Amino acid sequence: MANVKVIPATKLRHSGAPIESKTKRRVAGYARVSTDSDEQLTSYEAQVDYYTQFIRKNPDWEFVGVYTDEGISALNTRHREGFNRMIADALEGKIDLIVTKSVSRFARNTVDSLTTIRKLKDFGVEVFFEKENIWTFDGKGELLLTIMSSLAQEESRSISDNITWGQRKRFADGKVNMPFSSFLGYKRGEDGKPEIVPEEAELVRLIYRLFMGGKTITWIATYLTQQGIPTPRKKARWRDSTVESILTNERYKGDALLQKQFTVDFLNKKMKNNEGEVPQYYVTDSHPAIIDRTEWELVQAEMARRKEKGNHQNSLNVFSSKIYCGECGSYYGSKVWHSTDKYRRVVWRCNGKYERQTRCSTKHLTDDEIKKLFLNAVSKLHDERETLIEDCRFMRDILSDTSELEVEHARLMEELTAVGLLTEKLFEENAAVKMTTDDFDARHASYVERYNDLQSKLRAITDSEERKQRQIKVLDRFIKDIRGMKALPIDFSERLWNALVEKLTIYPDGTAEFLFKNGTTVTERL
């Protein structure tokens, strides 16, 4: 019979250190709280003090330090600077043991937790979870850790669901909250509700006036930057997106659309724009308005008009993108003549004049000539003011009648529902009775094609309804401006030009035709 001799281990399995070694283990503590409240900060300080004393009292341990994170969630480890620094030090051989309160303090994400601990194991670093009494080098450690991490992850899911429910309950109750630190024009009032900041509100009104005065979003952003005016987030440079956000945010007219975004995944807290996946809540008159409701609606109509028009809007001059050549259809652009001598002057001329073999014969115009034409045309509008107002009201009534569109919208919705039911029935039929792949694919493709066609028609109806609403708002503004024009304007007004003129067309025979925003045309001679 063979003789077996046992050779005892001489090194620790995970660290590789000699078993009889008297070398002290280098130990670090990890403390974290997930909110910035005073109560939690007290807990945080207590944790730091506790682990400092806990490690120092063990004669076999050498105190490395306590790594900390304040006001940080443990759902993932990506943004936890203290935690990540601790792991980096451990992997560089500066730490042998990490002591922390519990699995939930370390990470509530099972994958993050196990991945980190296995990586630490590979480098001979152990973790001790005091509350659960888990040592990761222990044979039962990983099984217990997996169970505890999963429980912690479910706890995080439950907390996230509770927070989401609370937020949606507040939304349903019409309770409005603002990111006051980065929202221009408002601050948190004593009652917790939005309160207007006068100087910031005036800046918001300036942005709206500049836009309705013909300036582009890019021009406004550049102007505010050059003026040294800080952004809502106190940055020096204004971006187009910031200006557009201010111009389109319904909160400036005193309303609030709630739940514009929602959390897709509670683990990584990824946010997504709400495109109908979860309910939204629209609260009217939820707080004091900075911008008049009618003015805000007109800005939205102007924004939509410019986007439909394309990239021709130019803010360098009020006449840009408003004057057309009646011969070739090109825009009129400003040209500088005699730029280097005393005869220098700016004229407006067809941009396509020299782009064809046959040159356009439309005349060029100076600023003063355009202004004179406009004032003459406005005087004719003024003479027919009451008739114009009645015509505008009649057109408004016609545009307000959307009964045909509503009937068609309802019919399409019914048909969409029917196609959806047919698709469900197809899947049930395929599950119950074996269908050929070609038959299933052909029927499914026809349903998808029909569904997409219906969706396209629905979008067209919605666009038509929105276009009518924009036209109504433009007519309302036109009526307001004409009614307010008690006397003929003596001087040219950029605001009146932008408010009234849709376009000015110059023809080769020397006529200039104004198309006003109410659809009225007035012809002048050059």
3-state SS of 433-471 is CCCCHHHHHHHHHHHHHHHHHHHHHHHHHHHHHHHHHHH
Domains of the chain: 25-163 (3.40.50.1390), 180-297 (3.90.1750.20), 323-525 (no CATH)
- What phi and psi values does residue 350 have, to the nearest 5 degrees? -60, 125
Mean pLDDT (whole number) for 272-288: 69
Cα(393)–Cα(475) distance, integer angstroms: 8
Cα(67)–Cα(502) distance, integer angstroms: 65
Residue pLDDT, tens place only, 15-56: 445 555 567 899 999 987 764 444 444 567 788 888 899 999
- Whether residue 517 is predicted with pLDDT greater than 90 in this model: the reply is no
What was the pLDDT predicted at 41? 45
Pairing of strands 97-100, 270-273: unpaired
Cα(18)–Cα(204) distance, integer angstroms: 71
Torsion over CA: 110, 116, 120, 126 (sign): negative
DSSP 11: B
| Of residues 259, 136, 110, 246, the one with CA closest to residue 185 | 246
Do 497 and 318 touch, CB atoms closer than 8 A?
yes
- Bridge-partner residues for 99, per DSSP? 29, 128
Which of 492 and 30 is assigned the larger pLDDT? 30
Of these ranges, 150-154, 263-267, 298-302, the one predicted with the greatest mean pLDDT is: 298-302
Residue pLDDT, tens place only, 193-238: 888 999 999 999 999 988 887 788 888 999 999 999 999 988 999 9
| Of residues 190, 188, 111, 181, the one with CA closest to residue 145 | 111
HEC string for 33-52: CCCCCHHHHHHHHHHHHHHH
- Whether residue 147 is predicted with pLDDT greater than 90 in this model: the reply is no
What was the pLDDT predicted at 8? 63
N-term to C-term CA, the chain? 124
Do 445 and 351 touch, CB atoms closer than 8 A?
no
Residue pLDDT, tens place only, 165-184: 545 455 455 556 677 788 89
What was the pLDDT predicted at 5? 63
**Token output for 164:** 């989401």
DSSP 413: H
Amino acid at 492: F
- Bridge-partner residues for 270, per DSSP? 265
Pairing of strands 97-100, 25-32: parallel
Of these ranges, 272-276, 314-318, 383-387, 439-443, the one predicted with the greatest mean pLDDT is: 439-443
Beta-strand runs (E) in 266-331: 270-273, 281-283, 323-325
Cα(40)–Cα(359) distance, integer angstroms: 78
Do 187 and 197 touch, CB atoms closer than 8 A?
yes
- What phi and psi values does residue 99 have, to the nearest 5 degrees? -110, 130
What was the pLDDT predicted at 43? 65
Q: For residue 133, count other CB atoms closer than 10 A to its CB.
A: 9
pTM: 0.47
- The single residue listed with the structure tokens 């020299």 is 354
Burial class (CB in 10 A: 0-12, 13-18, 19+), 311: exposed
Where do runs of H (alpha helix) occur along 21-140? 38-56, 81-91, 103-106, 110-122
Mean pLDDT (whole number) for 349-362: 81
Contacts of 370 by beta carbon, 8 Å cutoff, 6+ apart = 319, 323, 348, 504
**Token output for 95:** 């730490």
Cα(477)–Cα(172) distance, integer angstroms: 34
Burial class (CB in 10 A: 0-12, 13-18, 19+), 252: buried
- Whether residue 242 is predicted with pLDDT greater than 80 in this model: the reply is yes
Residue 526 DSSP SS3:
coil
Do 242 and 249 touch, CB atoms closer than 8 A?
no
What was the pLDDT predicted at 37? 43
Cα(445)–Cα(315) distance, integer angstroms: 48
Residue pLDDT, tens place only, 419-439: 888 888 888 887 777 678 888
- Whether residue 63 is predicted with pLDDT greater than 50 in this model: the reply is yes
| Of residues 388, 397, 390, 375, the one with CA closest to residue 520 | 388
Cα(186)–Cα(285) distance, integer angstroms: 15
Residue pLDDT, tens place only, 308-338: 766 555 555 778 878 999 998 888 988 888 7
